[in-house]
Amino acid sequence: MVHKCCVDSCYNVKRPNLAFHRFPFCNPERLRQWLCTLNMDVNTPLHVLVKLFVCQKHFQPEDYCMMENSNRRGRLLKNTAVPTQFINAHTSETDQHSDIYMEQAGRPPTKKAVVLNKVHKAPPVTAGVNHAPGFDWGAYLERETSLAASVFCFRHAPLWAHWDNIAVGMKVEVLNTNGILPSKVYWIATVIQIAGYKALLRYEGFEHDSSHDFWCSLVSGEINPIGWCAMTSKLLVPPQDVNPDIADWKEYLMKKLVGANTLPVDFYLKLTDDMKSSFKIGMRVEVVDPKHVSRTRVAVIDSIIGGRLRLVYTDQSDAPVNVVSDFWCHMWSPLLHPIGWSKKVGHSIKAPANSTEASSGLKGSFDSAFTLFKKPRFVYMGGSFFEEGMKLEAIDPLNLGSICVATVHKVLFDGYLMVGIDGTISNIGSDWFCYHASSHAILPVGFCTKHNIPLTVPQGYDSQTFTWENYLKETKAKAAPARLFNTDYPGHRFNPNLKLEAVDLMEPRLVCVATVKRCVGRLLLIHFDGWEDEFDQWVDHESPDIYPVGWCDLMGYQLQPPPGLVEAFENPVERNKKCKTYVYGKRKKKHSRKRLSQDHATEDNEVINAKSTNPLPSSEPLTQPKTEPEEQEISTVQVKVEEMEAPIDPPENPPQVSMERIKQEEGGHQSKPDQTSGQSSSDKEAHEPMEQTAEDTGEERGSLEESITGESSMEQSEAEIQHVDEDEGGQENDSTMEETLESTTEHDTTGEPEAMLK
């Protein structure tokens, strides 16, 4: 029987290295938790649940038991493991999340994961919930003292229609990275600042102290609404450096939570729905040829990442040896069309060099349908419409930072125009570009003068003395009437100096750190941070090639940081160096550059050569390994666990270490803040009021108190530890002290905080 994941929007099926788990029928309470977190009916009959499975993508590596025997066929879940409905779509087999899981499962990571880890050299994560391994947006925004554009500005971005529900002051439950327990615990935090998909959080209890603030992604799956810990039996434990004057945490939190907003319960469900794509791998499409922009060519969708398509041309006759000719664009890009579009509108399309090369090229499994593509605005072509020879102003498709004098050279069907830039040397029209009449990239005569934008004039003319009136007389042409242009402008929320992530349309496989430099109506002038102004690009505010901060982190797409960001502190002289650019079409810029360093380029070539057996190799790895901070952060408290491992040795060889020695060792370090008796007594005073008022609270407050009192389970008494040892002493394979503490931490939420200090 083929196992399929029953979670909504998850289409995983049984395959190697992907485990599936049954529902816990023997534990009704745990079964109810599973059904609630997966948004399933709690009254689902058992004969139906027997046939359902949940794949490992909905669990964390910490949910699995650590086993010495790596030859087991499958992994065992802990008794406290609860799946999540949201599947981490940005998690791939190349990131560190899968790498950690493969190592824990007893299988070595894939060769691709090892190579990517070597190439990117991601620094270790030391704080926060979900820091980007390659680029830290939070630190960069603080350094630049800049704000980021809201997700609501990007109509093609996931959750844009629901982002008004996300606001500063919202309360959430997040991982406590400053806890004192060796296991994962959580705490309540407040959203202090929002930057795209990123948020600056502050743990409750720090009040106005911003020294412990941290950045994380709101769409990482680690941010949960209030009440999530109570529903999934997770522990709520305050950070160890929190305000010691707070005696009653329950009363404190109740005051903070009354009237506060939190994440919608279906937040991640809506995110998953918005990340679906109607395009499929193997589908054939027509796309503009970047080497000859006046024609299209047939391509096959090779991969899809966050709506961005890697297209591999079916005809590889003009590609260099051992190189696959491909192109990147968004599925809503005006450069992309369904099969048959060129013939329908009268556009030129590249034909195969010969029948032999055509038959040997890549073939898609099926053609794309016209219904998958956004239809442009309908224009009435009868009567007064664009005519051949009309003059206008247009964004240069080969130099997107320039608005040039242009001419309509040909009128196609369905409102499409072939526009050429005046002054270019081309007798066959190879640099003509196809624009729709409703496109915002074509502008009426005088637009640049009206908005104080430099107009690029034809060769032989002086931009200081150029006038449209004289130019029209000299060329004996007429200007396109202003009424033919699309002037719709509903408004937007973009402002100058806002940060975002933008595609370099001259190298469309790259998504870079960028800034909105200027807003002119619908048009935005995008500046790529770290690069000169000559590389700026004009785009429409609804362009699918601009994204909110954190989009690459969400999708697992590689973000290109500003060049010299790290080297600026070591060698400031290198900051002003210019590099060579990627050749797009037949035109080149006056100054060229190179996006990636030589080291990365050399390693990328090694990756391509190593994967020569792949029929569709990528020119550069686009996903970078992810890291999870939990494992490294928890390991910092394992010193105390090692000191207490001695009492749990096998009973036939009892150790001679007593609790007096442990107390002496603890007494020898009384100078440390986390071991002083004063702090322990304050902890005792903080927990006694909670235990006294537990019986007077309702169901909701009871669950919150149960989560909060879990903090005391770390300080187990010697009698409790020996009791666990006696229960498991008859087994040959006794668990380690670390596992005992973790088990008692997760199950015993009513421990006595003063037991360790007796």
Residue 313 lies in a domain: yes
Among residues 409, 436, 471, which one ends one of the domains?
Answer: 471
Among residues 471, 494, 519, which one ends one of the domains?
Answer: 471
The DSSP symbol for 370 reads G
Global confidence as pTM: 0.61
CA separation for the pair 511, 622 (Å, rounded): 10
Q: Are residue 648 and residue 733 in the same domain, yes or no? A: yes
pLDDT, position 322: 67
3-state SS track over 722-734: HHHHHHHCCCCCC
Dihedral angle over CA of 209, 210, 212, 218, nearest 10: 130
Q: Are 53 and 21 in contact (CB under 8 A)?
A: yes
Out of 199-203, 210-214, 720-724, 753-757, which region has the weakest mean confidence (pLDDT)?
753-757
pLDDT, position 67: 61
Token pair recorded at residue 698: 């309702």
Is a pLDDT exceeding 90 seen at residue 741?
no
The average pLDDT across 430-443 equals 92
Burial class (CB in 10 A: 0-12, 13-18, 19+), 510: buried
Nearest to 550 by CA among 84, 214, 190, 138: 138
Q: Are 58 and 71 in contact (CB under 8 A)?
A: no
pLDDT, position 423: 84
Q: Are 404 and 456 in contact (CB under 8 A)?
A: yes
Q: Are residue 322 and residue 347 in the same domain, yes or no? A: yes
Selected residue with higher pLDDT from 365 and 318: 318
Phi, psi of 417 (to 5 degrees): -130, 145
Q: Are residue 654 and residue 751 in the same domain, yes or no? A: yes
Nearest to 128 by CA among 59, 193, 222: 222
Tell me how far CA of residue 137 lies from CA of 171, 508, 559, 562, 610, in angstroms: 22, 22, 11, 11, 33
CA separation for the pair 565, 515 (Å, rounded): 15
Is a pLDDT exceeding 60 seen at residue 188?
yes
Residue 654 lies in a domain: yes
Residue 565 lies in a domain: no
Nearest to 84 by CA among 265, 317, 312: 265
Q: Are residue 661 and residue 743 in the same domain, yes or no? A: yes
CA separation for the pair 566, 542 (Å, rounded): 32
pLDDT, position 449: 94
Is a pLDDT exceeding 60 seen at residue 727?
no
Q: Are residue 367 and residue 293 in the same domain, yes or no? A: yes
User: What is the domain range of residue 408?
Assistant: 391-471
Number of independent structural domains in the chain: 3
Q: Are residue 350 and residue 403 in the same domain, yes or no? A: no
Is a pLDDT exceeding 50 seen at residue 35?
yes
The average pLDDT across 270-298 equals 91
Q: Are residue 413 and residue 353 in the same domain, yes or no? A: no
Dihedral angle over CA of 698, 700, 703, 705, nearest 10: -70
Residue 290 lies in a domain: yes
Q: Are residue 371 and residue 402 in the same domain, yes or no? A: no
CA separation for the pair 704, 254 (Å, rounded): 9
Residue 141 lies in a domain: no
Q: Are 678 and 684 in contact (CB under 8 A)?
A: no
Q: Are residue 332 and residue 435 in the same domain, yes or no? A: no
Q: What is the CATH number of the domain that holds 293?
A: 2.30.30.140
The pLDDT mean for the chain works out to 73
Out of 25-34, 266-275, 375-384, 507-516, which region has the weakest mean confidence (pLDDT)?
375-384
Residue 736 lies in a domain: yes
For CA atoms 102, 103, 108, 112, give the dihedral sign. positive
Residue 463 lies in a domain: yes
Angle at 599 between CA 598 and CA 603, to 5 degrees: 115
Task: Classify strands 511-520 and 523-528 as parallel, antiparallel or unpaired.
Answer: antiparallel
Task: Classify strands 511-520 and 433-436 as parallel, antiparallel or unpaired.
Answer: unpaired
Q: Are residue 654 and residue 750 in the same domain, yes or no? A: yes
CA separation for the pair 317, 323 (Å, rounded): 11
The average pLDDT across 188-198 equals 96
Out of 11-20, 129-138, 205-214, 353-362, which region has the weakest mean confidence (pLDDT)?
353-362
**Bridge partners for 419 per DSSP:** 408, 433
Selected residue with higher pLDDT from 553 and 598: 553
Nearest to 269 by CA among 198, 197, 221, 199: 221
CA separation for the pair 67, 82 (Å, rounded): 19
Q: Are 537 and 396 in contact (CB under 8 A)?
A: no
Q: Are residue 409 and residue 332 in the same domain, yes or no? A: no
Is a pLDDT exceeding 90 seen at residue 156?
yes
The residue with tokens 């899968």 is 98
One-letter identity of residue 640: K
Selected residue with higher pLDDT from 487 and 95: 487
Token pair recorded at residue 250: 């329950």
Q: Are residue 362 and residue 396 in the same domain, yes or no? A: no
pLDDT, position 9: 65
The average pLDDT across 707-734 equals 43
Is a pLDDT exceeding 60 seen at residue 204?
yes
Helices (H), 393-498: 447-450, 468-475
Tell me how far CA of residue 348 lies from CA of 220, 288, 337, 353, in angstroms: 44, 10, 13, 15
Q: Are 313 and 364 in contact (CB under 8 A)?
A: no
Element holding 700 (H helix, E strand):
helix 699-708
User: 3-state class of 199 per DSSP?
Assistant: strand
Phi, psi of 533 (to 5 degrees): -65, -20
* C-alpha 680, offset from chain centre: 41
User: 3-state class of 586 per DSSP?
Assistant: coil
Element holding 367 (H helix, E strand):
strand 366-367
Residue 295 lies in a domain: yes
Tens digit of pLDDT for each residue in 390-425?
999 999 999 999 999 999 999 999 999 999 999 876
Among residues 315, 349, 375, which one ends one of the domains?
Answer: 375
The average pLDDT across 543-567 equals 88
pLDDT, position 690: 42
Element holding 543 (H helix, E strand):
none
Is a pLDDT exceeding 90 seen at residue 125?
no
Selected residue with higher pLDDT from 97 and 143: 143
